[in-house]
Structures are given as C-alpha cells and as structure tokens.
C-alpha cells in the first residue's frame, strides 16, 4: 500500500519534506535530540563539531542545529544513499541552515578519514546515528506500509543482531580517537527495542562509559557513549 506523503512531516516541531527516498523521522528519535542538546549546553559550541551518520531526511542534526543558538565549529550530515542526501538537502534549505551545513556521501564515517577531507579539530565531537537496526528475523513482523514505502537501506542491514552497523561505527570512532583531533567524543545512537542486553554487553566489553535513555514507551532506545575515559558528563 502506497503512503500519501504530507507536504511537511513534523519532527522536533520543525517541518521536514519526506518521500520514498528516506525514512519518515519517528517521534521516538526526538529523545536522542533532547540528549544531544542537553549535553551540548555544558560545552562551548564554538569548540564542538557535530556529525550525523545515516542522516536520511537530515532530521536529527537539523533539529540539533536549529536549537543551538550560538555558532558551532562544524556540522556534517552523512549518508551512504545519494537519494537520501537529496532529501536532506531540501530540508536543510527548508530550515534555513544551508550556510552552516556540509553534506557528503559516506559509508558510515569513512569519508572523514580521507586525507583531502577537511575535518576541523575541536575540543568536542558529538556524533549522532540512527542506523538500520532491524534484524533479519524481524522482517516478518513489520508493518506492510513501512516495507512498501520506506527505503530498505534505511531499515535493514541483513545481519543477525541488528547491532552490527553500530559495531563498525564504534570501531571507526576508536580509530578517529587515535588522531587526537578531539578531546571529548560522544556518540548518541538509537537502538531497537530488544537490543538493550546485547548492546550493554558489547559496550561493557569495550570498557566504554555509556548511559541509556527511555523512549516514549519507556523502553531503553537511546544510548550515549563516551570515548574518553576521563570525561565526565
């Protein structure tokens, strides 16, 4: 069944254009935005770089940037899908932040490791990611409307736990940490409703400091992960 897309979808009280090229931003993802804004208030925005991985409609970082009053160092929207980036660009213009935005096609954070990429050094790096996390086994339980309309690259990674893509991202961040471009790196991710135990064990095994936040249904779906041992937030 085809969805009749409205002219604007609302996310974090902001207007977003969406179509079949991107995931429709979900209300539950606003919890992640709340946490980024809350934490960022404790840091100088001028010394903060923001990166949104798997940006889709651009919703997460656009909402963060629109709600941060003062200037920040750099803001980067990444997606592997060029079609999604076309929609992200529409929304960045719609929300009038085009003079602050940098959009790139990238497999997770891959592009920022390229020698020609101009990633600024800063005290803080905040990375946000709502990546495909639906397990192979869960496809049968999905809403037909979602399967018929939303891009499968936004939903599935065709693997066992659904956390595999976050594992790759975490290893990229551990590599990035070695460059010493940032004093503090914080990753905010959205996970599936049944990924608490698996993710808790995975993050504990890496000795990372992390904290979970509940979604609107009281389920732990947002995780804040710190990559600097001495950093207290």
Ligand X SMILES: C[S@@+](CC[C@H](N)C(=O)[O-])C[C@H]1O[C@@H](n2cnc3c(N)ncnc32)[C@H](O)[C@@H]1O
Choosing from 9, 12, 17, 25, the residue that interacts with ligand X (CB under 6 A) is: 25
How far separated are the first and last CA of the chain, in Å rounded?
Answer: 45
Contact 27, 216 (CB under 8 A): yes
Choosing from 40, 48, 130, 184, the residue that interacts with ligand X (CB under 6 A) is: 130
Closest CA to 206 of 188, 223, 226: 226
Contact 1, 144 (CB under 8 A): yes
Q: Which of the stretches 21-29, 42-50, 176-184, 217-225 binds ligand X when contact is defined by CB under 6 A?
A: 21-29
Q: Which of residues 31-70 bind ligand X (CB under 6 A)?
A: 53-57, 59-60
Q: Which of the stretches 64-72, 77-85, 119-127, 197-205 binds ligand X when contact is defined by CB under 6 A?
A: 77-85
Helix (H) or strand (E) holding 203: helix 196-205
Choosing from 31, 153, 183, 219, the residue that interacts with ligand X (CB under 6 A) is: 153
Q: Which of the stretches 41-49, 64-72, 94-102, 130-138 binds ligand X when contact is defined by CB under 6 A?
A: 130-138
- Applying CB under 6 A, the site for ligand X has a residue count of 23
CA 6 from centre of chain: 24
Parallel/antiparallel/unpaired status of strands 74-79 and 220-226: unpaired
CA 151 from centre of chain: 17
Q: Does 132 bind ligand X (CB under 6 A)?
A: yes
> CB of residue 177 vs ligand X: minimum separation in angstroms?
19
Closest CA to 187 of 60, 28, 7, 47: 60
Residues making contact with ligand X (CB under 6 A): 22-23, 25, 29, 53-57, 59-60, 78-81, 84, 107-108, 130-132, 153-154
């Amino acid at each position: 069944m085809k969805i009749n897309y409205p002219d604007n979808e609302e996310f974090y009280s902001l207007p977003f254009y969406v179509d079949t090229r991107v995931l429709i931003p979900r209300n539950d993802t606003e919890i992640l935005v709340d946490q980024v804004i809350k934490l960022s208030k404790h840091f100088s925005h001028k010394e903060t770089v923001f990166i949104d991985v798997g940006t889709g409609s651009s919703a997460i970082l656009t909402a963060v940037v629109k709600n941060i009053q003062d200037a920040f160092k750099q803001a980067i929207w990444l997606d592997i899908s060029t079609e999604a980036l076309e929609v992200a660009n529409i929304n960045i213009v719609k929300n009038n932040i085009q003079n602050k935005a940098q959009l790139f096609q990238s497999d997770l954070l891959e592009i920022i490791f390229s020698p020609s990429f101009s990633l600024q050094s800063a005290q803080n790096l905040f990375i946000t990611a709502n990546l495909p996390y639906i397990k192979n086994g869960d496809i049968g339980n999905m809403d037909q409307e979602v399967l018929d309309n939303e891009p499968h690259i936004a939903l599935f990674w065709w693997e066992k736990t659904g956390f595999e893509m976050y594992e790759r991202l975490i290893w990229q961040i551990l590599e990035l940490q070695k460059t010493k471009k940032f004093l503090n790196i914080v990753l905010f991710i959205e996970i599936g409703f049944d990924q608490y135990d698996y993710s808790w064990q995975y993050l504990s095994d890496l000795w990372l400091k992390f904290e979970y936040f509940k979604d609107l249904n009281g389920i732990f779906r947002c995780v804040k992960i710190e990559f600097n041992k001495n950093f207290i937030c």
